[in-house]
Amino acid sequence: MIHFELVLKEPVKRLMIRGDMVRDHGEEIKRKLLELLRAGDRLEVCLLEGGMVDLCALQLLCAAHRQAAVNRKKLSLRMEGAGALLALSTVISLARPEGCRFDADSDCLFEQALPAASAVEE
**Tens-digit pLDDT profile for residues 10-45:** 678 888 888 888 889 889 999 999 999 998 899 988
* Domain harbouring 82, CATH code: 3.30.750.24
Residue 52 belongs to some domain of the structure: yes
68 lies in which domain range?
2-91
**Tens-digit pLDDT profile for residues 80-100:** 655 666 666 665 555 555 666
Nearest by Cα to 16 from 27, 24, 36, 26: 36
Q: Whole-model pTM above 0.85?
A: no
Residue 107 belongs to some domain of the structure: no
Q: In total, how many domains does the chain have?
A: 1
What does 22-70 look like in DSSP terms, one character per residue?
SGGGHHHHHHHHHHHHHH-SEEEEEEPTT--B-HHHHHHHHHHHHHHHH
